[in-house]
Amino acid sequence: MQARSLIISVFGDAILLRGGRVWLGALVQLLEPLELSERLIRTSVFRLVKEDWLSTETVGRRADYALTAVGRQRAEEAARHIYASHAPQWDRRWRLILTIGELDAKERERVRSALFWQGFGLLGADTFVHPSADLTQAFDALVAEGLGDVVARLMPLLAAEGNSALAASGADLVRRAWSLESLDQAYAEFVATYSPIMADLRRDRLAEVAPQDAFLLRTLLIHDYRRLLLRDPELPEVLLGRDWSGHMARLLCRDLYRRLLTPSEAHLDAHLTWADGSTPAASTLLAKRFPQDDPLDRIAL
């Protein structure tokens, strides 16, 4: 488990809705039970500052670390995927981004990485594809990533399924642009890992979970699920089939998260502080995560 990646998960899940900032000492206290040393946490946070995820805000002899504008955008984009009830409905049109100008190797890799974060697949060397992305938001995100000078060499297009520009059915295009076999297996392993915990909680053992343990379990749950979603283009159900393991993984993550939310928030109320000693309250947006009127409620574990 990489400390840097875990810290990103904690910022996106717990810190984003509490002002997007935390005193470094409080972050160390929150993560030390996961056997992450203070030195490793500090080193990882400094790396995130250099990568423009976080910025430093000094308060006396202490320091808060806060999400930058880019870091907040990344966290909010990830949150929209993690806590949504279902994948977007498909209008049977593909969103394409074509490279129409010369990009050097470094620019090409930066574009590929930025669009990968947004779930785009790659067709050949010069065409990125997605079934439901908002192309305006996709280009805005590229600008926010510092790729404004590259945007002029990219062209957004909409193409209907079966259009000659794609020359493939939906299923064929999915196989070309994304490799989903390993992802399906990874989702199945996620379900196998967390299902026994869910079974215990369903046997009325929630009272036995201490606030700290609830927070740690919630952190690992979202961390593991977020890492899967980073590889997942969240294709429409019609392109995946009913046996796609990602459906069950989303439902399991949602149910377990709901059950851990109250005790884990109690732990954050007690231990997540800013450098000035204040404790930020959680945003009301927390209640909108994994909405109750979820279409996945029709599926039984």
Structural contact between residues 181 and 240, judged by C-beta atoms closer than 8 angstroms: no
Sign of CA dihedral 68, 230, 191, 300: positive
Task: Select from 113, 133, 160 the last residue of a domain.
Answer: 160
Confidence of residue 232 (pLDDT cuts 50, 70, 90): confident
Residues 77 and 99 in one domain: no
CATH assignment of the domain containing 35: 1.10.10.10
Angle, in degrees to the nearest 10, between helices 24-31 and 3-10: 110
Is the residue at 26 inside a domain? Answer: yes
**Residues 207 and 80 occupy one common structural domain:** yes
Residue 96 near residue 82, CB atoms below 8 Å? no
| Rg of the chain (C-alpha set) | 20
Task: Dump pLDDT digits (tens) for 187-206.
Answer: 999 999 999 999 988 776 65
- Work out the average pLDDT over 264-282: 97
Residues 81, 122, single domain; the answer is: no
CB 66 within 8 A of CB 55: yes
Residue 124 belongs to domain spanning:
93-160
Q: What is the pLDDT of residue 286?
A: 95
Instruction: Decide: helix, strand or coil at residue 62.
Output: strand
Q: Whole-angstrom Cα distance, residue 272 to residue 29?
A: 9
Mean predicted confidence (pLDDT) in 12-31: 97
7 and 24 inside one domain: yes
H or E segment at 54? strand 54-59
Indicate whether 260 and 192 sit together in one domain: yes
Over residues 54-60, mean pLDDT: 94
d(CA 208, CA 201): 9
Pairing of strands 93-99, 154-160: antiparallel
Query: Does 241 reside within a domain?
Result: yes
**Mean per-residue pLDDT, 231-243:** 80
- Under DSSP, the state recorded for 280 is P
Cβ pair 239, 131 in contact under 8 A: yes
The mean predicted confidence, pLDDT, of the chain is 88
Which of 160, 193, 215 is where one domain is finished? Answer: 160
- What is the rounded distance in angstroms from the CA atom of residue 219 to the CA atom of residue 15? 11
What's the mean pLDDT in 250-279? 95
Residue 27 within a domain: yes
Residues 128 and 151 in one domain: yes
Q: What CATH number corresponds to the domain at position 142? A: 3.30.70.240
The reply to whether 184 and 276 lie within a common domain is yes
- Across 29-43, 116-130, 151-165, 280-294, least confident range: 151-165
| Shared-domain flag, residues 47 and 130 | no
Cα-based angle 197, 221, 43 (whole degrees, multiple of 5): 135
Q: What is the pTM of this model?
A: 0.80
Instruction: Report the pLDDT value the prediction gives residue 204, as an integer from 0 to 100.
Output: 67
Structurally, the chain folds into a number of domains equal to 2
Residues 301 and 222 grouped into a single domain: yes
Whether 132 contacts 94, CB under 8 Å: no
Q: Are residues 99 and 78 in the same domain?
A: no
Give me the helices (H) in the chain, please: 3-10, 24-31, 38-50, 69-82, 105-117, 135-144, 148-151, 170-177, 181-200, 211-230, 245-271
Question: Among 4-13, 45-54, 159-168, 236-245, which stretch is predicted with the lowest mean pLDDT?
Answer: 159-168
Do 82 and 97 reside in the same domain of the chain? Answer: no
Dihedral of the alpha carbons of 57, 60, 61, 64, in degrees to the nearest 10 = -30
